[in-house]
Amino acid sequence: MQKKVLRTVCYDAKGLIAKITAVCYKHQLNIIQNNEFVDHQTHSFFMRTELEGVFNDDSFLADIDNVLPDGSQQELITVARKKVVVAVTKEAHCIGDLLIKSIYGDLDIDIVAVISNYDSLQPLIEKFNIPFYFISHKGLTHQQHEIMVTQIIDTINPDYFILAKYMRILTPDFVSRYSNKIINIHHSFLPAFIGARPYHQAYQRGVKIIGATAHFVNDNLDEGPIIVQDVIPVDHSYLPEDMMRAGRDVEKIVLSKALFYLLSQRVFVYNNRTVIL
Amino acid sequence: MQKKVLRTVCYDAKGLIAKITAVCYKHQLNIIQNNEFVDHQTHSFFMRTELEGVFNDDSFLADIDNVLPDGSQQELITVARKKVVVAVTKEAHCIGDLLIKSIYGDLDIDIVAVISNYDSLQPLIEKFNIPFYFISHKGLTHQQHEIMVTQIIDTINPDYFILAKYMRILTPDFVSRYSNKIINIHHSFLPAFIGARPYHQAYQRGVKIIGATAHFVNDNLDEGPIIVQDVIPVDHSYLPEDMMRAGRDVEKIVLSKALFYLLSQRVFVYNNRTVIL
Amino acid sequence: MQKKVLRTVCYDAKGLIAKITAVCYKHQLNIIQNNEFVDHQTHSFFMRTELEGVFNDDSFLADIDNVLPDGSQQELITVARKKVVVAVTKEAHCIGDLLIKSIYGDLDIDIVAVISNYDSLQPLIEKFNIPFYFISHKGLTHQQHEIMVTQIIDTINPDYFILAKYMRILTPDFVSRYSNKIINIHHSFLPAFIGARPYHQAYQRGVKIIGATAHFVNDNLDEGPIIVQDVIPVDHSYLPEDMMRAGRDVEKIVLSKALFYLLSQRVFVYNNRTVIL
Amino acid sequence: MQKKVLRTVCYDAKGLIAKITAVCYKHQLNIIQNNEFVDHQTHSFFMRTELEGVFNDDSFLADIDNVLPDGSQQELITVARKKVVVAVTKEAHCIGDLLIKSIYGDLDIDIVAVISNYDSLQPLIEKFNIPFYFISHKGLTHQQHEIMVTQIIDTINPDYFILAKYMRILTPDFVSRYSNKIINIHHSFLPAFIGARPYHQAYQRGVKIIGATAHFVNDNLDEGPIIVQDVIPVDHSYLPEDMMRAGRDVEKIVLSKALFYLLSQRVFVYNNRTVIL
């Protein structure tokens, strides 16, 4: 008995759920949980089916393919521990939270490497026997630096590359190498305060709520598909540094929640949006 | 072309989704939205299927019944405006919110009568040309008062009986007449502060958050299945009356949100719990 | 025995609280509540002092003025019911909430007139015996329309002019006539989604949280000092119209909360920000 | 130039703020921030005054004492890093969060020892070179175990003793040794679900929101003064273990927020309540 997740994306049509679940039934697979969503504007059909049973992957996927319209995408995924590489700059809160969750069972990730353009967090990371790659950006062009980062990532070939308060902008070239695999935590409630120093921008504007956004990274800065957002109240007494301190707790929770959804195979991306089933 | 909701509750078994959606497909009904939930501890299966097409109700339900295990419950419901009777005491905020939402399209209810043991709200209700039944409890036993209330309700035969800050306890006899039809808003985050004067209890305990709970009413006070809860922060400066004032906004939103779910045929009740699909 | 609020704004200096409260003590006024804030970056001092006693306003304010630095602003205000004019377009939820709160004691306002560029809400407003001024914008220039609105406002001379989902942009001329007296509710979490159709913008961006912002109106659209903000979660299943429906509850609560702070004399405006004491 | 906090608690009287701040002014101390609260029901006056300047502690406190009514309590405290001992059982999330915050500047605490009745967390704690005291409760009476814990605490003499998911009940004897020094995180929204297995209780009751409560520990289980509470939404699909997982993030944030307030000298305790200034 195994557990797998069937992820189906296709053009909407009558009878899709019946056809897909009939294939599951034919294969004697038990549906633990089934969630679907139809975007009636674009006629897009999304379904996540959590299955239990004895799988013949090839035959099952062939049967699924037979009942779906042309152009469908289906994947049968074993929910398993994933390899991630994490990039950081100087702040410890996000990577610290990921470390604890990784070790004590709250996130099914193995952090196989941490990359940083500063060495500040090296002592922390090495306590946990994780390779720390200090790649200073000093004296390098943006491109040169990214090539060095790319080499590490490509050697490791992780499932996800997580920007856990990595304070450097990535080039479109870099980003396009890892489509839908780079997750960033941005320290604002996007699309408010795109770009640098969002808490200073928030202070300047006098907002009464601040937030954080976990999103996929695509070529435009802070404009990728949003996975999770959350906020906390602030008031006139918060200086930018108070917002930073309070915001760190939101940032880390939002990032790890986004990873939790991803690892559960619940996140679908289309039209710069996410569907979370 | 019509829109209806199929609600299915039965003992869990392999192939249920396939079988039910195959019947929908056979009847050429389009599935707008499908949500299901299985309680794996009690093996209970719940499904809400929003359908569009030309319905032959009897033949469709017979086909559904054929594919389900013994003891299944299935209903095919036209999502339509519902008749409600509202009971109030002296506070206007919940009934005021229901009135505005009823008239301006945010809740598909017709408030066909308002019953109160005080006449305080009569002027407001009558502005909206809704019959107001003032049934004072003075000089009556609890039972005598309830019989008078019952007579009004039974004459009207509403879909739901809504307690919108009705500050009297109902007897088990009364409650059992209207099983899963009475919705109450309780001004605390249940199960904290059951019973009278919950804001005073909250003040006494020094809590930092207060809330409200919309729930079905069964025979035990404030112990029916919970539909919606929400909370707001408070601090040491809140006296009970400040909690009351701030709480009123939570109460009315929680109550109307619960009704919204009910009217969308999204609420299933079992084991003193609700499943909201 | 009366209750009044002393509002003090001045350049920060050592001993200000001692000096101000010493004057209160000398006048035998009891301090019910005292809140102060210093912006150490701009050296601005703000204090709200809730007082109880027998007041000699002129002598008290003269004494206060004597102890404060040059350029100080101090006001002694009786917290009392305020006259407001409300502008609406077609939506009932905000004005409906204000009406109920005004009548039943949750907001100390008298709504002395409602102005609209549509007649949709006339039946509702007139139920409450409040003058409804239907001033269609059709066939008028923006300026001509505003002059007609201005005439009504100036005849009434209200304490505040509340834009309760009034869907027209005001000119700088109009706005400058009523500095810090116009309160708007914007249906987004500003500064995200400034301008028209914010829920459609939010849908487009795929955000996971939507919100509302109550703010003073100054000459730049949606850029005035923010008083209150709040948010609610949404997910991929929300179309713009679902966001609108859910958002209406946030909008009305945020607007009335902003008015509650204003009426309590708790709001101070400076540098396009608010301090709420 | 130093920074200190004056904490004043006394019976309310006219002129208190004037008198206290006049003493500050006389001593040429600058008030960075001043917050006060009066409980008008018990006539209790609380004030937190953040001061900057050159302090003569004895003379300043003598002057303060002179202007206050009999029975007043005043303290002049240097806001400084505090020594804490943390008790844990098997869960890492709270202690993990405290460790990261302690090292990277988000909490001004030195964790000088960790005590546990299991050795599960020993590897984590020792990575950070913090003494880990494994004191199994097996084969010991409750009293014998507590004596061993007490000996460690008393040798260290910490400022606070933090129960970071320490799953054992403390005896009144133990608790009374460390009045207002023991902080617990309880994994429910108190007073709902007092006692053991609160998430299972929450699941059983079918609540739609779960929470956590940081509170001082006094002799009655889970009934001490509440410092911070927060909540998150759940739905019918959450089993107790899902609540536990989601709840862990709330627990750790609530606990560290409570400590942040404590360390800022913002928390006052009276009548089983807290005032947070």
Number of CB atoms found within 10 A of residue C178's CB: 17
Out of C65, C222, C235, C249, which one is annotated catalytic?
C222
Q: Where are the alpha helices (DSSP H) in chain C?
A: 16-26, 57-67, 93-103, 122-127, 142-156, 172-177, 198-205, 240-263
d(CA A98, CA A116): 16
Q: What is the mean pLDDT of residues B161-181?
A: 94
Closest partner residue to D100 (CB to CB) among A92, A103, A106 is A92
Distance from CA of D92 to the nearest CA of A (A): 7
Best C34, C35, C50, C106 member to test B by mutation, with max B CBs in 10 Å, is: C106
DSSP for C2-20? EEEEEEEEEE--TTHHHHH
The DSSP line for D101-147 is HHHHTSS-EEEEEEEESSSTTHHHHHHTT--EEE---TTS-HHHHHH
Residue B52: predicted pLDDT: 96
CA-nearest of D245, D253, D247, D241 to D209 is D247
State the nearest Cα–Cα gap between C126 and chain D, in angstroms.
40
Looking at the partner chain, which of D96, D104, D257 has a beta carbon nearest the beta carbon of A100? D96
Instruction: Calculate the average pLDDT of chain B.
Output: 96
DSSP secondary structure of B110-121: EEEEEEESSSTT
Question: Would you say the C-alpha torsion B130, B136, B140, B142 has a positive or negative sign?
Answer: positive
Neighbouring chains of C at 3+ CB pairs within 8 Å? Answer: A, B, D
Question: How far apart (Å, rounded) are the C-alpha atoms in residues B245 and B258?
Answer: 21
**Sole residue written with tokens 């008015």:** C259
Mutating which of C186, C201, C208 best tests the A interface, going by the most A Cβ atoms within 10 A?
C208
CB contacts < 8 A, A to B, total 52
B159 is catalytic: no
Q: Active site residue: D65, D222, D230, D235, which one?
A: D222
A199 contacts C238 by C-beta, under 8 angstroms: no
| Cβ pair A21:B25 closer than 8 A | no
CA distance D219 to chain A (A): 32
pLDDT at A195: 85
Task: List, in sequence order, every residue forming a beta bridge with B228; answer none if it has no partner.
Answer: B214
**CA-closest candidate to residue D99, choices D162, D141, D51, D152:** D162
Helix (H, G, I), strand (E, B) or coil at C208: coil
Binding-site residues on chain B for chain D (CB distance < 8 A): 37, 39, 41, 189-193, 205-209, 211, 225-231, 235-237, 239, 271-276
The pLDDT tens digits along chain A (277 residues) read 899 999 999 999 999 999 999 999 999 999 999 999 999 999 999 999 999 999 999 999 999 999 999 999 999 999 889 999 999 999 999 999 999 999 999 999 999 999 999 999 999 999 999 999 999 999 999 999 999 999 999 999 999 999 999 999 999 999 999 988 999 999 999 999 998 899 999 999 999 999 999 999 987 778 999 999 999 999 999 999 999 999 999 999 999 999 999 999 999 999 999 999 9
Find out whether C47 and C35 touch, Cβ atoms under 8 Å: yes
Q: Which chain B residue has the Cα nearest residue A52?
A: B14
Contacts of A37 (CB under 8 A, 6+ apart): A45, A46, A47, A275, A277, B33, C236, C237
> What is the reported pLDDT for C171?
93
Q: Quote the tokens at residue A55.
A: 């799988």
Cα–Cα distance for residue pair A183/C238, rounded to 1 Å: 24
Query: Counting Cβ atoms within 10 Å, is residue B141 exposed (0-12), middle (13-18) or buried (19+)?
Result: exposed
Q: In the β-sheet with C73-78, what is the strand arrangement from edge to edge? A: C73-78, C2-11, C44-53, C30-39, D30-39, D44-53, D2-11, D73-77
C-alpha B156/C-alpha D69 separation (Å) is 66
Which residue of chain A comes nearest to B29, CA vs CA? A14
Could you please report the per-residue DSSP string of A65-116?
A: HHHSPTT-EEEEEE---EEEEEEESS--HHHHHHHHHHHHTSS-EEEEEEEE
Smallest CA-to-CA distance from B94 within B79, B109, B74, B76 is with: B109
What is the Cβ-side half-sphere exposure of residue B160, based on CA atoms within 13 angstroms? Answer: 27
pLDDT of residue C273: 95
Tell me which chains share at least 3 CB pairs under 8 Å with chain B.
A, C, D
* Contact call for C40 and D32, based on CB within 8 A: yes
Cβ pairs bridging A and D (under 8 Å): 47
- Contact criterion met (CB below 8 Å) for D99 and D176: no
Angle CA B5–B11–B12, to nearest 5: 90
Alpha carbons A47 and A66: distance in angstroms, whole number: 16
Name the catalytic one among B108, B222, B230, B242. B222
Domains assigned to chain A: 2-77 (3.30.70.260), 82-276 (3.40.50.170)
Contacts of D233 in chain C (CB under 8 A): 233
- Taking the C-alpha atoms of residue B262 and residue A211, their distance in angstroms, rounded to an integer, is 32
Q: Which residues of B touch A33 (CB under 8 A)?
A: 37-38
Task: Per-residue pLDDT tens, chain C, 277 aa: give them.
Answer: 899 999 999 999 999 999 999 999 999 999 999 999 999 999 999 999 999 999 999 999 999 999 999 999 999 999 889 999 999 999 999 999 999 999 999 999 999 999 999 999 999 999 999 999 999 999 999 999 999 999 999 999 999 999 999 999 999 999 999 988 999 999 999 999 998 899 999 999 999 999 999 999 987 778 899 999 999 999 999 999 999 999 999 999 999 999 999 999 999 999 999 999 9
Residues of B in contact with D267 (CB under 8 A): none
CB atoms C28 and D14 under 8 Å: yes
* Position C270, amino acid: Y
Which residues on C lie below 8 Å from B96 (Cβ)?
Answer: 96-97, 99-100, 104
Burial of A22 (0-12, 13-18, 19+ CB in 10 A): buried
Alpha-carbon distance of A62 to A79, in angstroms, equals 20
- Beta pairing partners, D114: D86, D132
Per-residue confidence band for D219, with pLDDT thresholds at 50, 70 and 90:
confident
Give residue B218's pLDDT.
85
| Per-state percent for chain C, helix, strand, coil, to nearest 5 | 35, 30, 35
Structure tokens at C129: 């015996």
Residue of chain B whose alpha carbon sits nearest to that of A30: B14
- Which residue from B minimizes the CA distance to D227? B208
Residues A184 and A164: their CA atoms lie apart, in Å, by 7
Alpha carbon distance D245, D252 (integer Å):
12
CB contacts < 8 A (B, D): 74
* A248 closest CB neighbour out of D99, D106, D127: D106
Q: At what angle do helices A57-67 and A16-26 cross, to 10 degrees?
A: 150
- What's the pLDDT tens digit per position in B185-223? 999 999 999 988 999 999 999 999 999 999 999 877 788
- The alpha carbon torsion through D248, D253, D256, D257 (nearest 10 deg) reads -150
State the Rg of chain B over Cα: 21
Q: Give C102 to chain B, closest Cα distance, Å.
A: 11
List chains adjacent to chain D, taking adjacency as at least 3 C-beta pairs closer than 8 Å. A, B, C
CB–CB contact C190 A192 (8 Å):
yes
d(CA D19, CA D27): 13
Compare CB distances from B273 to D191, D206, D209 and report the shortest one's residue: D206
What is the 8-class DSSP label of residue C242? H
pLDDT per position as a tens digit, D47-101: 999 999 999 999 999 999 999 999 999 999 998 899 999 999 999 999 999 999 9
Q: Which of B100, B236, B261 should be substituted to probe chain C, the one whose Cβ sees the most C Cβ atoms within 10 Å?
A: B100
8 Å CB contact of B193 and D190 = no
Q: Which residue from C minimizes the CA distance to D15? A: C25
Around D2, how many Cα atoms within 13 Å sit in the side-chain half-sphere? 12
pLDDT in tens, B26-68: 999 999 999 999 999 999 999 999 999 999 999 999 999 999 9
- Provide the phi-psi class of B247: left if phi over 0, else alpha when psi is between -120 and 50, else beta: alpha
The residues of A carrying an active-site annotation are 222
Burial label, D131 (beta-carbon count in 10 A; 0-12, 13-18, 19+)? middle
Taking CA–CA distances from A22, the nearest residue in chain B reads: B18
CA distance linking residue B112 with residue B156, whole number of Å: 8
For A211, nearest residue in chain C (alpha carbons): C209
